[in-house]
Amino acid sequence: ATSMLWFRRDLRLADHPALAAAAAAGPVLPVFVLDPGLLASAGPVRTHCLLDAVRHLRRSTDGALVVRTGDPAEVVPRLAREAGAGSVHVSAETTPYGRRRDDRVRAALGPVELVATGSPYVVTPGRIRSASGDPYQVFSPFYRAWLEQGWSEPEGRPRGLRWAPPVDSEEVPASPLDGVPDAPELPEVSEAAAQERYQLFVDRLLGSYPTDRDRPDRDGTSQLSVHLKYGTVHPRTLLAPLRRAASAAGEKAVDRFRSELAWRDFYADVVWHRPDSVWSDLKPTLATIEYDEPGEQLQAWCAGRTGYPVVDAGMRQLLGAGWMHNRVRMITASFLVKDLHLWWPHGARHFLRHLRDGDVASNNHGWQWVAGTGTDPSPYFRVFNPVTQGRKFDPRGDYVRRWVPELRHVPGADVHEPWTVEGGYDHGYPQRIVDHGHERAEALRRYELARG
Ligand code: FAD
């Protein structure tokens, strides 16, 4: 019988358990639904990346992929009827929005079964539990248990995969960046591009990953986050080559990279157990801390005009490239929470809109980690100093000069302190909106008060 494969965060054909399950049942109608509810929260770069992945997927299905716009609870059952599909296959979705949506779709499908096989994670959220049966609250024991699960070897495209006769499809919409002057050059989001980048990373970058991963001035990380976000590669597919890479790159580098993939699984697991933690504090420890109301300072932060060079470079990289280096995500997030005294969701929402890898679990729990309200939190009293951090992780100032043109005339690491450089403000770089030393003391004062 014909079955349907409803693609969501799994826009690929290789190593795809749900597609394999659908193919085993007979010819497959491949479908992607453009859900206006989801697109509303995405900025132009994120939307561009999604549409790019859909366009490439359509190409690799030889045009068989059916694209429709609308509420999935209406579109999916209608397509199932049009195709005479006996079942609809998906990769399990674990975000609060995805779970609610799938419940509605399941109800609307009636007798046609919604079959979930696999998920966008190495280990499906909810599966790893401690000996007492509870979910893990901190990363290290989760990671040990995660490693013990082991994982199967990746598989290619399902054997015997046949597409069902086509039904009407919309065109993939044009990218919102088409025709926009100065639109950023973005990497292709496709299965082939994911494989190519991963090969380059393993061959050339993995060996120095333990140190270079903290250097925003270098291309030292995998840059696979957009691929993991849209599922142009499955994380399990990345694990097998790692074992073989260990002899060249070193066990430490391999373990470091593997543990980053496990962090992604961990945060998804936390969200599975605590869906409420997406937009509110996971832990009540700072429930009474005093935050300021967002205003002009939030706008300056969003625009990359705080007067702190590494913060501004990061915020402009976010707007320009739809990506920000992990170290700088931590620095800019700390600045919002501890220098501007704003509640983390104000910053998390801006990140989510613009990051091409924007993901509610990794993003919002990354924010909570910095804010001291999440799992394994960084202690609240640890306040990042943007100047020290800049000098340490961008030691020649190249990262700042790349993203902040008004400071390109300042040589070396002094670019992190334009107030010490004669002529530092000659090209319009803004003055500091707050004094870091003062705000650090203020953050600690509020923290002590909240702790009683
Ligand atoms: P690499 O260093 O090459 O890591 C490989 C992969 O491991 C990443 O692609 C990602 O899938 C995963 N990973 C790495 N670090 C983390 C982490 N700390 N938490 C969870 N997964 C991780 N990551 C997102 O994918 N989406 C987000 O929306 C997101 N928002 C963040 C917000 C803040 C405030 C912070 C501090 C971190 C956030 N991260 C997020 C985690 C991390 O910054 C990015 O995954 C990483 O920068 C992506 O670049 P990369 O693929 O080159 O990473």
Give the chain's domains with CATH numbers: 3-119 (3.40.50.620), 191-273 (1.25.40.80), 284-451 (1.10.579.10)
Q: Is 388 annotated as a binding residue?
A: no
From 260, 332, 346, give the residue whose CB has the most ligand 1 atoms within 8 Å, as the site to mutate: 260
Q: Is 267 annotated as a binding residue?
A: yes
- CA-to-CA distance for 102 and 90, rounded, in angstroms? 10
Please list, residue by residue across 285-324, b when 16 or more beta carbons sit within 10 angstroms of its beta carbon and e when fewer do.
Answer: ebeebeeeebeebbebbbebbbbbbbbbbbbbbbbbbbbb
Atom 31 of ligand 1, nearest CA residue? 363
Rg (CA), the chain: 23
User: E strand or H helix at 227, and its extent?
Assistant: helix 225-230
Quote the pTM value: 0.97
- CA-to-CA distance for 175 and 47, rounded, in angstroms? 7
Instruction: State pLDDT tens for residues 53-104.
Output: 999 999 999 999 999 999 999 999 999 999 999 999 999 999 999 999 999 9
Number of Cβ within 10 Å of residue 377's Cβ equals 20
What is residue 147's predicted lDDT score, i.e. its pLDDT? Answer: 95
Q: Is 222 annotated as a binding residue?
A: yes
DSSP symbols for 166-208: P---PPPPPPTTTT-TTPPP----SHHHHHHHHHHIIIIIGGG
Tokens of 243: 């074992």
Backbone angles phi, psi at 88, to 5 degrees: -120, 120
- Going from the Cα of 326 to the center of ligand 1, the distance in angstroms, rounded, reads 6
- Going from the Cα of 263 to the center of ligand 1, the distance in angstroms, rounded, reads 8
What is residue 377's predicted lDDT score, i.e. its pLDDT? Answer: 67
The residue count for the chain: 452
What is residue 153's predicted lDDT score, i.e. its pLDDT? Answer: 84
Kindly give the number of the ligand 1 atom that is closest to the alpha carbon of 360: 28
Atom 17 of ligand 1, nearest CA residue? 263
Atom 30 of ligand 1, nearest CA residue? 363
pLDDT lower than 50: segments of the chain: none
Atom 43 of ligand 1, nearest CA residue? 326
Q: Is the ipTM of this complex over 0.90?
A: yes
Atom 9 of ligand 1, nearest CA residue? 225
Residues with CB under 6 A from ligand 1: 213, 221-225, 228, 260-261, 263-264, 267, 326, 329-330, 333, 351, 355, 357-359, 362-363, 366-367, 370
